[in-house]
């Protein structure tokens, strides 16, 4: 046995996803495959992304490709964007540039937790929280979202908190449900965490995982818990909105409500701890491109059309689906209740969805709307046909 205990646990908790990732890519490489699985791009990169990268590729100084930490211009662009979006006075020094949201989450764990601490995670939720927690020697504690609506269930979070809890992870817009939570949810959570922190004699943090923040439908507003609870760190990634998860860029941002002394302590740790976790800063080109990338976005009108097409056709076929308010995912209940059987029957026809078993939710399935409209239109009749005898 060469693997460490934490690597063994991390691997076990995400093995099913890792295997699916390899298997489905082998299958979806076929030109006739209809791939609705991961949130990957299905068309060539957005012109704004390639233009921003091209503009930075030629070195403009001898240190162009020297070691980079969090570049000033990138942090300024992020702070300006956050101020406009969230209406809170973020400062550039509240920002640590990271390798996507993955990097920011990892940085937050190192800044805020010690080995053996517990971290509360939403269920259903993104399948990488657990392996990341195990790899960081932390213990995931699941708190279910509200049955059926997938609203934030603040009471469930309260019940999940123990004397070892250090962080509560929240995710809005939420993967896989597409739900966006209102400010009232954050105010209620803030009250619970304030009381629990007092009771247990240490501060419990919120890590607000917001990589889908700019992907919202029907003009629905967005509130971050950073506006309700001072001890909130936001993690963000540009990968979703610019449909390029292979180019790593993101950040961790502290709530401007946090007291000056705590902010100063954390700010001073961004660089040394970013280094300590394996030089977790984005590549030079991505940092130089960050100001231009702030405004690059997938076509939200087209994404709304895809959401409406898929949601409309599935509900017409009496398949129970949650209408996404954000993200590019659609979360549904498998006809007949066995998501794996439903997904296998579709795979036999060359249509690939993600079974909820990857989220430990064997009755549900997830569809990614990053596929082209043509793929969606070709996949839909198959989904409806397979569902009919099962439903």
Ligand X SMILES: Cc1ncc(COP(=O)(O)O)c(C=O)c1O
Site residues for ligand X per CB under 6 A: 39, 100-102, 126, 171, 175, 209, 211, 237, 239, 245, 250
**Helices 339-347/373-390 angle, 10° precision:** 120
- Comparing CB distances to ligand X, the nearer of 38 and 64 is 38
Q: Shortest Cβ contact with ligand X: which residue?
A: 100
Kindly tell me the burial class for residue 284, based on how many C-beta atoms sit within 10 Å of its own C-beta (0-12, 13-18, 19 or more).
middle
- Comparing CB distances to ligand X, the nearer of 102 and 205 is 102
CB of 242 to ligand X, least distance (A): 10
CB of 175 to ligand X, least distance (A): 4
- Comparing CB distances to ligand X, the nearer of 280 and 335 is 280
**Helices 300-316/373-390 angle, 10° precision:** 20
d(CA 68, CA 70): 7
- Comparing CB distances to ligand X, the nearer of 169 and 386 is 169
Asked whether 132 and 181 are in contact (CB, 8 A), the reply is: no
Per-position DSSP letters for 174-226, written without gaps between them = PTTT-----HHHHHHHHHHHHHHHHHHTSPPEEEEE-TTTT-BSTT-----GG
H runs (alpha helix) in the chain = 5-28, 47-57, 72-86, 100-112, 129-135, 154-160, 183-200, 260-276, 284-293, 300-316, 339-347, 373-390
- Comparing CB distances to ligand X, the nearer of 132 and 345 is 132
Alpha carbon 275 to its chain's center: 23
CB of 121 to ligand X, least distance (A): 10
CB of 198 to ligand X, least distance (A): 30
CB of 194 to ligand X, least distance (A): 25
- Comparing CB distances to ligand X, the nearer of 135 and 380 is 135
- Comparing CB distances to ligand X, the nearer of 228 and 237 is 237
d(CA 145, CA 179): 11
- Cα 373 to Cα 51, 52, 54, 159, distances in angstroms: 25, 27, 29, 43
- Comparing CB distances to ligand X, the nearer of 286 and 321 is 286
CB of 39 to ligand X, least distance (A): 6
CB of 171 to ligand X, least distance (A): 5
Alpha carbon 315 to its chain's center: 26
> SS3 for 325?
coil
DSSP 164: T
CB of 99 to ligand X, least distance (A): 7
């Amino acid at each position: 046995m060469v693997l460490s205990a934490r690597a063994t646990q991390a691997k076990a908790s995400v093995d099913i996803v890792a295997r699916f990732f390899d298997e489905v890519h082998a299958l979806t490489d076929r030109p006739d495959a209809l791939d609705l699985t991961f949130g990957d791009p299905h068309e060539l990169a957005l012109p704004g992304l390639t233009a921003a990268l091209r503009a930075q590729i030629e070195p403009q100084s001898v240190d162009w490709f020297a070691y980079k930490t969090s570049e000033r211009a990138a942090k300024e662009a992020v702070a300006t964007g956050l101020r406009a979006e969230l209406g809170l006075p973020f400062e550039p020094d509240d920002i640590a540039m990271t390798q996507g949201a993955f990097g920011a989450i990892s940085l937050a764990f190192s800044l805020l937790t010690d080995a053996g601490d517990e971290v509360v995670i939403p269920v259903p939720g993104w399948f990488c929280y657990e392996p990341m927690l195990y790899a960081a020697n932390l213990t995931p504690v699941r708190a279910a979202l509200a049955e059926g609506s997938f609203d934030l269930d603040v009471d469930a979070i309260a019940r999940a908190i123990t004397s070892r809890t250090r962080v509560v992870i929240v995710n809005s817009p939420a993967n896989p449900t597409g739900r966006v939570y209102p400010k009232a949810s954050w105010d209620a959570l803030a009250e619970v965490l304030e009381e629990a922190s007092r009771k247990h004699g240490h501060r419990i943090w919120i890590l607000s995982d917001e990589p889908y923040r700019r992907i919202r439908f029907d003009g629905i507003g967005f509130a971050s818990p950073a506006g309700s609870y001072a001890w909130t760190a936001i993690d963000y990634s540009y990968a979703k909105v610019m449909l390029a998860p292979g180019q790593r860029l993101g950040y961790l941002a502290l709530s401007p409500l946090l007291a000056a002394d705590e902010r100063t302590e954390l700010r001073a740790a961004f660089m040394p701890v970013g280094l300590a976790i394996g030089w977790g800063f984005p590549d030079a080109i991505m940092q130089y491109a960050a100001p231009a990338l702030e405004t690059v976005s997938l076509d939200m009108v087209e994404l709304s059309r895809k959401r409406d097409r898929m949601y409309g056709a599935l509900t017409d076929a009496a398949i129970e689906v949650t209408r996404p308010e954000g993200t590019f995912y659609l979360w549904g209940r498998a006809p007949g209740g066995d998501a794996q059987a439903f997904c296998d029957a579709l795979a036999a026809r060359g249509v690939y969805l993600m079974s909820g078993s990857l989220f430990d939710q064997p009755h549900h399935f997830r569809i990614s709307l990053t596929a082209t409209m043509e793929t969606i239109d070709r996949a839909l009749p198959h989904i409806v046909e397979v569902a009919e005898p099962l439903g």
